[in-house]
Amino acid sequence: MCGYELMSKKVLKQLSELQLGDLIEVIWLDASRGKLETVEELREAGAAGAEIDLPVTSYGVYIGSFGKRAKHIVLVASQWLFAQGYGQIDCTIIPVGTVENIRVLLPKLMNAENVQVCQQAFIHGRARRLMRRITILGNEL
């Protein structure tokens, strides 16, 4: 399973039209309520039975789809710059099979160089920019 089999044709089309750096909104279903709840607590809150689909709306900059066994949409939700050339990113990772809708809010919000830095930071755990070159774990790109 590559992660695309469970997606609707609409979502597959939306995903194929995304451009790296787009600011997007993703509506998807999470399988967790964030805490353990008994069936009684769920029913008191208005949930029928053992319902676990929790609708979530996430916002962020699209930096790609990753995964070998199942594809995941990766969004940069926050980016910090502590000092010149040193920062941190916070990513939201969404299994594509849970996505109900994708909407582009602002095309190409993040430039290509910054997208590449964020991708490498996500993939390798760290990345840095030196004189407009990206260095990842000691290897220049």
List, for residues 3-38, the tens digit of each pLDDT value: 444 568 899 899 999 999 999 999 998 876 555 566
User: Domain limits of the chain?
Assistant: 9-108
Mean pLDDT of 57-63: 96
Cβ partners under 8 Å of residue 103, min gap 6 = 14, 24, 25
The residue ranking higher by pLDDT, 21 or 118, is 21
pLDDT tens digit string along 92-108? 999 999 999 999 999 99
Contacts of 54 (CB under 8 A, 6+ apart): 29, 30, 31, 32, 33
pLDDT band at 52 (very low <50, low <70, confident <90, very high): low
Looking at residue 2, what is its pLDDT?
45
- The residue with greater pLDDT, 23 or 40, is 23
